[in-house]
Amino acid sequence: MSPPKIDLKSIIAGDVAPAVVRDDPPPAPAPEPERVVTLPQHPPTPPRRPRLKERTHAISVYLEPPVFERLRVLAFEERTKMHTLMLEAIDLLLKKRGQPSIKKLMG
C-alpha cells in the first residue's frame, strides 16, 4: 500500500512534517581491489614477404595476334602460364647478352 499523497497546502499549513534532508551523503562502499589479468604471450609473427605484385614492376608487351596465339598455345600445351614462358624468354635474352640470369639477380 502506498503512502498518502501530500499536497502543497498541507505542507504550508504545517499539517505535515517536513522531510529530513541529510547534508552529508552516506559513505560510499569500499572499492573492490583491482584484479590484474595476465594474458598468455604469443611469439611475435615474423614479417611476411611482400607478395609478387608488391615487390615487382609490371610491363606491357604488345604482340601481334599470331604471336600471341602461338604463345598461348605453347602455354596450354606445356600446362604452364604465359608469364612463365615470358620469364624464360627474358632469361634467355639476358644469357645471350652476357648478363646474369634472373636467378642470380634475385640472389
CA distances from 93 to 56, 70, 72, 75, 87 (A): 19, 19, 20, 19, 10
- Give the pLDDT confidence score for residue 16 in this predicted structure: 64
- Give the pLDDT confidence score for residue 90 in this predicted structure: 97
pLDDT, tens only, 35-90: 888 888 888 888 888 888 898 999 999 999 999 999 999 999 999 999 999 999 99
pTM here is 0.54
**Is the model more confident about 66 or about 10?**
66
Burial zone of 96 (CB within 10 Å; 0-12 exposed, 13-18 middle, 19+ buried): exposed
Given a cut of 80, is residue 11 above it in pLDDT?
Answer: no
- Give the pLDDT confidence score for residue 19 in this predicted structure: 65
Structural contact between residues 82 and 97, judged by C-beta atoms closer than 8 angstroms: no
- 26: confidence class by pLDDT, cuts 50, 70, 90: confident
- Give the pLDDT confidence score for residue 21 in this predicted structure: 63
